[in-house]
Amino acid sequence: MRQFIRLSCAGLVLALAAGQVSAQGFGTLESAGEAAAKAKAAEWLKEVGKTDEATMKKFEAIWSQKDRTVIDRLGETFTIANPTAQRLLGEARDPNWIPPEKAPSLLTGGDSPFFRANLALAYARILTIRRAYDESLAVLKIVKPEQVVDPSGYLFYRAVCEHAVLLKDESTKSINRLLTDALDAPDRYKSVAHLMIKEMDGWQDADLGTVARLMRQVEERLDLAKAGKKTQAIQKDIINRLDELIEALEAGAQGAAPGEGDGDGDGDGDGQGEGGGKKAGGNKGGDKGAQDSNIPTAPGMSGAVDMAAIKKLQENWGSLPPRERERQLNLLTQGMSPSHRQAIENYFRNIALDRRPPR
């Protein structure tokens, strides 16, 4: 489910509609059309004294590109009149550029709220596409949906970022406002919003699903060369959660009565004793064989998962040769659900691939 949502979000952020916000009442958000956004952009150019023939020719060329989103064209308009905005959006699109953790100063000061708010949304949109969710969220927090030309897009991007960094309450709040206040939110926004809500309803604080989500978060941070304190803190949290899951599994095993479920069958092969307990192949002492071959199922998983092995592999990963890493990783992820297996495999492989300096 989570993988489907991520793929859906990745596609959606490349095809988002936009418009001009106008107040209809308390909490109500509505986008205007492309024409209104273009008119506001032309008005801004006039305010900054950039109405010469060459600039206006570029302006018309930008707004003639109907295949681009309105917020993308608005951001491009800012770049033809403001070199700093041009540099900012250019850097954001560079796959080798590491986004700053704090919002750039261009987005936090200045005389034009229209310019700052909508440039912030254009910038955050690019960061969201790059999966720089923390940085995008830091930018989105400095503006309000009422200030931008695409309030439903703002709420959608914000919900996606909050969902990605596991801020369940915040993401739910953004989604609720998207579904109730954004009158003209596209159906595709709403569909993915409902999927995110459904997935978050299944989140539990103490299950392997949470560990897998944290591992995916580390993977995304390492993709952006962010191996610093925050990433290390998440990795430490992963180890602590694995410890808690291991302790819970051990406590559950110790709490089970010896021979529970054995029945007292005589090994006649019917797999059922007088006490109603199942036996492994009808053999006496069959439970011992089951205990030796099966690993307790971790909370939130549908298959057998060796929690201690996950923790041990994480601790020993740096000292293992590449071939042994792959062998142990393949053994470890057998029986896992596809989404959890992918998250854990990517997490360990990103640890191996990361050679970039921490920030």
Model confidence at 122, in pLDDT bands (50, 70, 90)?
very high
The tens digit of pLDDT for each residue in 218-227 reads 777 766 667 6
pLDDT, mean over the chain: 75
Mean pLDDT of the region 163-188: 92
Mean pLDDT of the region 188-202: 91
Mean pLDDT of the region 57-76: 95
Q: Does pLDDT of 136 surpass 70?
A: yes
Q: How far apart are CA 74 and CA 123, in angstroms?
A: 11
Give the residue from 210, 203, 204, 218 showing the smallest Cα distance to 242: 210
**What is the pLDDT at residue 321?**
83
Q: Does pLDDT of 49 surpass 80?
A: yes
pTM for the full model? 0.63
**What is the pLDDT at residue 349?**
62
**What is the pLDDT at residue 248?**
65
- 10-19, 114-123, 260-269, 309-318 — most confident range: 114-123
CA dihedral 16, 171, 148, 74 (to 10 degrees): -30
Q: Does pLDDT of 19 surpass 60?
A: no
Q: Does pLDDT of 286 surpass 50?
A: no
Residue with more model confidence, 56 or 281? 56
**What is the pLDDT at residue 224?**
66
Q: What percent of the chain has pLDDT over 90?
A: 38
Mean pLDDT of the region 173-185: 92
Q: How far apart are CA 19 and CA 185, in angstroms?
A: 10
CA 352 vs. chain centroid, Å, equals 21
**What is the pLDDT at residue 41?**
96
Q: What percent of the chain has pLDDT over 70?
A: 63
Q: Does pLDDT of 182 surpass 70?
A: yes
Q: How far apart are CA 342 and CA 337, in angstroms?
A: 9
Q: How far apart are CA 153 and CA 145, in angstroms?
A: 9
In this structure, of 1-10, 52-61, 295-304, 341-350, the range with the lowest mean pLDDT score is 295-304
Q: How far apart are CA 239 and CA 314, in angstroms?
A: 8
Q: Domain residue spans in the chain?
A: 2-201, 208-257+294-353
As given in the structure block, the two tokens for residue 120 are 């912030």
- 7-16, 18-27, 137-146, 301-310 — most confident range: 137-146
Mean pLDDT of the region 196-213: 78
115-149: burial string, b at 16+ Cβ within 10 Å, e else: bbbbbbbbbbbbbbbbbbbbbbbbbbeebebebbb
CA 214 vs. chain centroid, Å, equals 10
Burial class (CB in 10 A: 0-12, 13-18, 19+), 193: buried
**What is the pLDDT at residue 216?**
72
